[in-house]
């Protein structure tokens, strides 16, 4: 595809010598014999520059609210309890990709990404009524499994999202799993949780306990596979970061954070020189790294102790979604601006889960909490 220009067409930014044409002139345009003043050309070129600047800063994304069809008049589509939705992703149903959300009471919901109204409630295996905390897809379309993990060492898998099967965790682990990630190249899935727990599988069926580095027994909060670095990156309490190329042997990486790291995401490039990572710190700040070894702090202006339930990198734009309807975007991880979230958002939703369907035609989904709706991107 064409290379993105390195500079914007900046024009008349001092605000002087700019005159906006009248409504009548805009409607008629310039006629034969007119001699347009320079000030109106400056207005037009400056306006074009400011629109391009807005687009370049990630503003083309807008999220629209969609309510889910429900069996009752109250529209309580998900039926989740207070803990609400905690996990999200996509699962191949045998024909195409469905969006999947899961959370409290063992609830699982799937929907067609092209149908923003109708959802299908799925039944978790074994009458599980705990909370699913994380999701990943193990494998490739037509030959893979959705993997949901949660409280009480719960692991469940499904080949289509319709029927789910309980899997036995390693070592009778009874803590809560909080993160899951998959390396499609090696076919390895890693899940992490409380008390420094790491488990690994190459088939999503049988699981093996893996020791964390440095005798770490605090809590791992999330894990991501970073394709560009060929690394799993796990984050946890007290600023902990550990990395592993295979999920078997882990290495502690020093960070400047002392608060807990709650979420981590990696850019979707497969070129090591272009790798970028972002982690959410419990004090409301962010950490960034280009190699998963050296980490630096990114101060945020969203307020202290703001929870970022979702970190997302998509099409060159970083997104954060969090408590009280927080949504922001950045193209460099340092400078953030508010993201417009559907005209019906009242600022009370605590975003917690995201789903990005393959071949999505710029439509993806974010939601959270005990709500009857979700938000989907309109794109450009």
- The one-digit pLDDT tens for each residue of the chain (380 residues) are 456 677 888 888 877 789 898 999 889 998 999 988 898 988 989 888 887 776 665 544 555 555 444 332 223 344 444 457 889 999 998 888 898 999 988 999 888 877 666 778 899 999 999 999 999 999 876 789 999 999 999 999 999 999 999 999 999 999 999 999 999 999 999 999 999 999 999 999 999 999 999 999 999 999 999 999 999 999 999 999 999 999 999 999 999 999 999 999 999 888 888 899 999 999 888 999 999 999 999 987 554 445 678 898 987 888 888 877 778 888 889 888 777 665 444 556 778 888 888 865 556 777 776 544 566 664 43
> Residue 309's pLDDT is what?
84
Note whether residue 166 is domain-resident: yes
Pairwise CA distance, residues 50 & 54, whole Å = 6
**Residue 370 included in any domain:** yes
Residue 307: CATH number of its domain:
2.130.10.10
CA distance 231 to 247: 8
For residue 235, tell me if it sits in a domain: yes
Establish if 116 belongs to a structural domain.
yes
The reported pTM is 0.80
Q: Is the separation of the CB atoms in 225 and 258 below 8 Å?
A: no
- Residue 1, in any domain of the structure: no
**pLDDT for 360:** 53
3-state percent breakdown (helix, strand, coil) of the chain, nearest 5: 15, 40, 50
Residue 12 within any structural domain of the chain:
no
CA atoms of 329 and 314, how far apart (whole Å): 10
Q: Output the CA–CA distances (angstroms, integers) from residue 215 to 3, 125, 196, in the order listed.
A: 47, 34, 8
Asked if residue 343 is part of any domain, the answer here is yes
C-alpha–C-alpha distance, residues 270 and 369, integer Å: 33
Residue 117 belongs to domain spanning:
63-377
- How many folded domains does the chain comprise? 1
Residue 42 domain flag: no
Residue 65: per-residue pLDDT: 53
């Amino acid at each position: 595809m064409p290379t993105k220009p390195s500079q914007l067409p900046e024009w008349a930014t001092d605000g002087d010598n700019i005159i906006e044409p009248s409504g009548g002139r805009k409607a008629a345009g310039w006629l034969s014999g007119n001699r347009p003043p320079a000030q109106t050309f400056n207005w037009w070129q400056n306006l074009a520059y400011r629109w391009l600047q807005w687009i370049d800063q990630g503003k083309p994304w807008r999220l629209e609210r969609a309510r889910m069809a429900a069996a009752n008049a109250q529209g309580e589509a998900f039926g989740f309890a207070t803990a609400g939705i905690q996990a999200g992703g996509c699962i191949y149903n045998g024909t195409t990709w469905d969006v999947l959300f899961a959370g409290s009471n063992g609830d699982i919901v799937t929907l067609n990404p092209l149908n923003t109204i109708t959802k299908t409630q799925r039944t978790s295996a074994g009458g599980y009524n705990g909370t699913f905390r994380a999701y990943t897809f193990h494998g490739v379309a037509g030959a893979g499994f959705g993997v949901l993990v949660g409280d009480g060492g719960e692991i469940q898998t499904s080949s289509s999202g319709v029927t789910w099967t309980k899997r036995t965790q390693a070592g009778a682990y009874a803590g809560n799993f909080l993160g899951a990630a998959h390396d499609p190249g090696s076919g390895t899935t890693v899940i992490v949780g409380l008390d420094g727990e790491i488990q690994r599988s190459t088939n999503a069926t049988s699981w093996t306990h893996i020791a964390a580095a440095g005798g770490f027994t605090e809590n791992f909060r999330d894990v991501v596979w970073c394709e560009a670095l060929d690394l799993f990156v796990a984050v946890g309490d007290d600023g902990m970061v550990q990395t592993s190329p295979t999920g078997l042997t882990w290495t502690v990486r020093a960070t400047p954070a002392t608060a807990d790291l709650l979420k981590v995401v990696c850019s979707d490039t497969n070129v090591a020189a272009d790798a970028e990572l972002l982690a959410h710190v419990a004090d409301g700040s962010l950490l960034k790294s280009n190699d998963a070894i050296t980490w630096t702090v990114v101060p945020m202006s969203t307020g202290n102790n703001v929870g970022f339930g979702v970190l997302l990198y998509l099409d060159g734009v970083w997104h954060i979604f969090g408590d009280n309807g927080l949504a922001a975007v950045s193209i460099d991880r340092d400078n953030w601006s508010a993201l417009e979230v559907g005209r019906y958002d009242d600022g009370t939703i605590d975003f917690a889960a995201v789903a990005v369907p393959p071949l999505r035609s710029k439509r993806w989904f974010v939601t959270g909490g005990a709500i009857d709706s979700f938000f989907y991107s309109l794109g450009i």
